[in-house]
Each structure stands twice: as structure tokens, then as C-alpha cells.
């Protein structure tokens, strides 16, 4: 679906809310021409990367032009020597986003691959600026009003994580938006593997009213490091014990539970476990067929053997994702939603490291985490290019919230709006979507301590990717029930994707 179709679909969504709106002067009659069924042609995969804890994205992407950098540095209480959080200007990796004029930006020094992808000829990487949980469009004045609807338990890890994963924060969370997408596209999986697949948590994100998610756990080396050369074998138990002869461990279990059980809990446990084992065997057989009789994924997809990648937990998950994408035909699916994650971003402290016996932000916890993200995303994108599916696979980031711009002396505290990355061949990249929080913007969006009021609702950001995935306006209203509350946010991401 192109930009014009997105605008038409956005107009159609106006009919869902209590009061209709037509934000782009598109008539409801014109919008009604949108097809009522999900587009399931071809193959598409959406890979959701959740950075648990609240990524300090104010240091992931930084103003680079001198006066804007100085404003940023002041808002972060200066540099490390004075316990401030401002990265040195000389350390930033500059980028020149289309449409920002002289207001250039810089990636965190731990992210050279993201800098390269943002500026590459294909421009597969985009930045979505200052996005986060909202219940409706909100101004600074409305935020301060006692009667305005705000996300429940704002700034709370668990509540903001739930918001990002369900997009239904104002009612009990029973399903996630990934699971509701899987409900819409369930017929796109002719095999037995569910549309929604998790490798790093995200149980509620992947759960639908109908769809049941499938969890895959990367295998570990004996040392305890996660092994990105994951073998997806017939079952996790078989991965350790089964040598290809005799009875498979899951067969013993299935046979044991084939007999009737009087206890209802035993019956349900048996059904669920039997189903998981059977799906595991189906995936294992598909991988076995796809990889010419070899359960190992060592040669399934092109993958870096660099030492850092081999011990990168996010790369391990994404390697398994790449392998399942490579085996999509054997798995019998044309749509896949993956959830992977990396934790540790709640950096109230440990932000400073030691470089040449000097206190520095060019080491420390956040530096290490962003290095893992940079390496994993680049390696995964390269794999999709090698597999010839880079235009069919889009990777997006999410995180609890941004952080306070103000330093607490050792790190930053819980914030609100933050910046996210979108990567893939279908991305209209080399751009920043939304209004980047330059100095002139800050007074109208700072709710205190440098916490930024989001100007793109998380619902709008994620819905644009669901639309690229194939959901039409009717289905978007089901997947994202609050989407019609954000008419002025919709055009900010309309051109994020090339289709």
C-alpha cells in the first residue's frame, strides 16, 4: 500500500471513533473503496525488537549542529567529568537526514553500522522521533489538566511495556497487537506454525483471540553464552538427548498422554504440551528438509562468525528468525510476526565507564548495550539481503519509554517519548519521521526533568507497520482500537514505508 492509500485508510479510520474526522480532506466515500480483506499476497515478515528497561534514545540519536548540540549538552547536565550524560561532540557519528536542512544529527559512537545503513544508497534505515504511549492527542497544557486522559501508571515499566505490546492500555490486557495481527492473517499460514513467533518473551504481544504464539529458545554453548548457530531440532529435549535412533523423547510423552486422563488439569496440560511438541517436530522437519538433511543452522543462512556476534544474545535470536524466514516455504507461511528482545536498559546508574583512566560515556552499560543492538541489527539485515528478502522483512524497535534528559548523577530516570529505528528494504529511509526535539521544540513538550511528551502515538507508529504487513483500514481498527484518536499524528508516518 502506497502513501496515498495510507492516507485514504487513515481517513476511513475516522469512522471508528466516537466523532468522525477527515484529517486529510479525503471523503468517507473515497476511503470506502479500500478492500475489506487483509492483503495476503506474497510474503512479509515483521520483526519486533523490544529493548526492555527504557532505552536512553536521547543518547542514541543526538543533535550534531553546534548550537543544537550545546542545548542538548546543557539539558543533560554537561559531560561525564561533571556527572552529566552528554556524549562528546567529537564522538558522534554524523548523519544528514533528508528534510532537516542544516540540523544534522549523530548516532551514538557505539552504532557505526546504523550510521552506515542510514546513509547507504538503498537507505534502508529510518528514525521515528519522539514516539510513545498516549490515550489521545495531548498538549502540554492538557497534560497538566486534572481531567485529561493519560496512560495508566505513566512512567511505570510494567504498564508502559504492556501498552507497547497490547495497544489497549485502558482496559484489561488479554491480547497483544502482534496476536491480533496473527488473528487477521491466520489463513496466511497453511502449515502448522503460528503466524506469531517469539524468541525473547513477549507472551502478551503475540497472544490473539484465536492465534496461539510459538516460542523458540536459542540453544546455548556449554559456557552459558547463547549460541547463534542455533539448531532448531525436533524438541528442546531432543536437542540434547536424541541421536536420531530409537524413540524420540516427545513420542514417549505423547504416547503416555494418549490415554484418557481423569484430572482436567492433566488433560489440558497434556493437550498443550502435545501440541507444542508436535509443532516443534513440524518446525524441525521443515528445517531438516530446508537444510539438506542437517538440523544445524550453521549453513542455513549467511551469518557472521565474528566473536562478538557469537556471544550477542540479540543476534542469537535474530539468527533463528533468519533461519525461519529462510524456511518459509517449507513452513507453509506467507506472513510471520517475530518478537525478540534485549534487556538491561533501565540505566539509573552504571552509565559511566573508564577510558584511559578517565570517567567516560564511551564505555559503560549503555555503550555496551547499543553495541549489541548495532551489531545484531546489521548482521540480521545483511542476512535478509543475502537471502533476497530484504524488501519483504521489516525490523522495528520498541522500548518501555525514553529517559529523562536530566542526569541523576549516575544515569537517567524513567521518561516518556523516545526515538525508534525501522530497518528494511521496504523502508523509505534516510529520514526522521516526526518533529525531532530540537531546542525550540523542547519548551512545548517537556513535562519535567526532560521527560518528553510524545508527538507520535505508539499506536500510529506500529499501525503504519501493520499496514505495510497487509492490514487494511477495517483490520487496523480492530488491531489498534485507539488509532482513530490520533488524526494529526497519522500523516507524520504516512511515507515511512515505500508501499
Q: Do residues 249 and 321 share a domain? A: no
In a domain, 477, yes or no: no
User: Which of 241, 265, 296 finishes a domain?
Assistant: 296
91 beta partners: none
Q: Do residues 281 and 359 share a domain? A: no
Task: Give the residue among 449, 404, 410 at the shortest CA–CA distance from 58.
Answer: 404
For residues 412 and 348, the answer to whether their CB atoms sit within 8 Å is yes
Helix pair angle (157-166, 177-184), 10° resolution: 10
Q: Do residues 112 and 128 share a domain? A: yes
What whole-number distance in Å separates Cα of residue 36 and Cα of residue 22?
A: 19
User: Which of 271, 296, 321 finishes a domain?
Assistant: 296
In a domain, 423, yes or no: yes
What whole-number distance in Å separates Cα of residue 135 and Cα of residue 445?
A: 16
CATH of residue 314's domain is 3.40.720
If residue 273 lies in a helix (H) or strand (E), which one and from where to where?
helix 264-290
In a domain, 253, yes or no: yes
What whole-number distance in Å separates Cα of residue 422 and Cα of residue 434?
A: 13
Q: Do residues 236 and 128 share a domain? A: no
In a domain, 206, yes or no: yes
Give me the sign of the Cα torsion angle 197, 45, 421, 138: negative
For residues 364 and 352, the answer to whether their CB atoms sit within 8 Å is yes
Q: What is the pTM of this model?
A: 0.86
In a domain, 260, yes or no: yes
What whole-number distance in Å separates Cα of residue 445 and Cα of residue 443?
A: 6
Cα separations in angstroms, 137 against 17, 141, 453, 475: 13, 12, 10, 22
Per-residue confidence in pLDDT tens, the chain, 499 aa: 454 444 444 444 333 333 332 221 222 332 332 233 345 458 999 999 999 999 999 999 999 999 999 999 999 999 999 999 999 999 999 999 999 888 999 999 999 999 999 999 999 999 999 999 999 999 999 999 988 999 999 999 999 999 999 999 878 889 999 999 999 998 666 556 778 888 887 789 999 998 878 887 665 444 444 444 444 433 333 333 334 444 555 566 666 655 566 778 877 777 777 777 777 777 767 766 655 544 444 455 667 777 677 789 999 899 889 888 988 888 888 999 999 999 999 999 888 998 988 999 999 999 999 999 999 999 999 999 999 999 999 999 999 999 999 999 989 999 999 999 999 999 999 999 999 999 999 999 999 999 999 999 999 999 999 999 999 999 999 999 999 999 999 999 999 999 8
Task: Give the residue among 312, 417, 316 at the shortest CA–CA distance from 368.
Answer: 312
Cell, residue 413: 530516570
What whole-number distance in Å separates Cα of residue 463 and Cα of residue 184?
A: 14
What whole-number distance in Å separates Cα of residue 198 and Cα of residue 49?
A: 11
In a domain, 94, yes or no: yes
Question: 287: domain range?
Answer: 232-296
β 353-355/432-433 pair status: unpaired
Q: Do residues 188 and 104 share a domain? A: yes
Radius of gyration of the chain (CA): 23
In a domain, 57, yes or no: yes
Q: How many domains does the chain have?
A: 2
Q: Do residues 196 and 91 share a domain? A: yes
Q: Do residues 206 and 241 share a domain? A: no
Q: Do residues 164 and 309 share a domain? A: yes
Q: Do residues 261 and 390 share a domain? A: no
In a domain, 21, yes or no: no
Q: Do residues 280 and 334 share a domain? A: no
Q: Do residues 217 and 278 share a domain? A: no
62 beta partners: 106
Task: Give the residue among 324, 295, 285 at the shortest CA–CA distance from 43.
Answer: 324
User: Which of 296, 326, 351 finishes a domain?
Assistant: 296
Q: Do residues 238 and 351 share a domain? A: no
Amino acid at each position: 500500500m502506497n502513501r496515498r492509500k495510507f492516507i485514504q485508510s487513515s481517513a476511513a479510520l475516522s469512522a471508528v471513533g466516537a466523532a468522525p474526522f477527515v484529517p486529510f480532506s479525503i471523503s468517507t466515500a473515497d476511503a470506502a473503496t479500500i478492500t475489506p480483506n487483509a492483503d495476503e499476497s506474497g510474503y512479509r515478515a515483521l520483526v519486533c525488537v523490544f529493548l526492555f528497561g527504557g532505552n536512553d534514545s536521547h543518547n542514541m540519536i543526538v543533535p550534531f549542529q553546534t548550537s543544537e548540540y550545546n542545548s542538548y549538552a546543557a539539558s543533560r547536565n554537561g559531560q561525564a567529568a561533571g556527572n552529566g550524560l552528554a556524549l562528546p561532540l567529537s564522538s558522534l557519528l554524523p548523519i544528514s537526514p533528508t528534510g532537516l536542512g542544516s540540523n544534522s544529527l549523530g548516532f551514538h559512537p557505539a552504532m557505526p553500522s546504523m550510521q552506515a545503513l542510514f546513509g547507504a544508497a538503498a537507505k534502508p534505515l529510518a528514525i521515528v522521533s519522539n514516539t510513545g504511549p498516549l490515550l489521545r492527542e495531548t498538549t502540554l497544557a492538557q497534560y497538566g489538566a486534572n481531567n485529561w486522559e493519560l496512560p495508566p501508571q505513566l512512567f511505570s515499566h510494567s504498564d508502559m511495556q504492556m501498552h507497547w505490546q497490547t495497544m489497549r492500555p485502558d482496559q484489561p490486557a488479554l491480547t497483544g497487537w502482534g496476536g491480533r495481527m496473527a488473528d487477521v492473517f491466520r489463513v496466511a499460514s497453511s502449515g502448522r506454525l503460528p503466524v506469531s513467533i517469539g524468541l525473547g518473551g513477549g507472551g502478551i504481544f503475540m497472544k490473539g483471540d484465536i492465534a496461539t504464539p510459538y516460542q523458540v529458545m536459542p540453544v546455548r554453548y556449554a559456557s552459558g553464552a547463547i549460541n547463534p548457530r542455533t539448531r532448531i531440532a525436533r524438541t528442546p529435549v531432543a536437542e540434547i538427548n536424541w541421536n536420531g535412533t530409537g524413540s524420540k523423547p516427545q513420542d514417549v510423552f505423547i504416547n503416555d498422554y494418549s490415554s484418557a486422563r481423569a484430572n482436567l488439569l492433566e488433560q489440558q496440560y497434556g493437550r498443550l504440551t502435545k501440541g507444542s511438541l508436535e509443532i516443534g517436530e513440524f518446525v524441525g522437519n521443515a528445517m531438516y528438509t530446508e537444510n539438506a538433511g542437517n538440523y544445524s543452522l550453521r549453513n542455513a543462512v549467511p551469518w557472521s562468525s565474528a566473536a562478538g556476534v557469537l556471544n550477542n544474545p540479540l543476534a542469537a535470536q535474530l539468527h533463528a528468525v533468519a533461519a525461519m524466514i529462510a524456511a518459509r516455504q517449507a513452513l507453509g507461511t506467507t506472513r510471520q510476526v517475530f518478537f525478540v528482545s534485549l534487556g538491561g536498559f533501565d540505566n539509573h546508574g552504571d552509565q559511566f565507564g573508564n577510558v584511559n583512566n578517565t570517567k567516560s560515556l564511551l564505555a559503560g552499560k549503555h555503550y555496551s548495550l547499543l553495541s549489541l543492538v548495532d551489531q545484531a541489527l546489521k548482521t540480521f539485515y545483511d542476512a535478509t539481503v543475502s537471502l533476497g528478502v530484504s524488501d519483504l522483512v521489516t525490523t522495528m524497535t520498541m522500548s518501555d519509554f525514553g529517559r529523562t534528559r536530566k542526569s541523576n548523577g549516575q544515569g537517567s530516570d524513567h521518561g516518556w517519548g523516545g526515538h525508534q529505528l525501522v530497518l528494511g528494504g521496504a523502508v523509505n529511509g534516510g529520514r526522521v519521521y516526526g518533529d525531532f526535539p530540537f531546542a525550540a521544540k523542547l519548551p512545548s513538550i517537556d513535562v519535567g526533568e526532560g521527560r518528553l511528551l510524545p508527538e507520535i502515538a505508539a499506536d500510529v507508529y506500529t499501525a503504519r507497520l501493520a499496514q505495510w504487513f497487509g492490514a487494511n483500514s477495517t483490520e487496523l481498527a480492530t488491531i489498534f482500537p485507539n488509532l482513530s484518536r490520533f488524526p494529526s499524528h497519522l500523516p507524520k508516518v504516512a511515507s515511512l514505508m515505500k508501499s
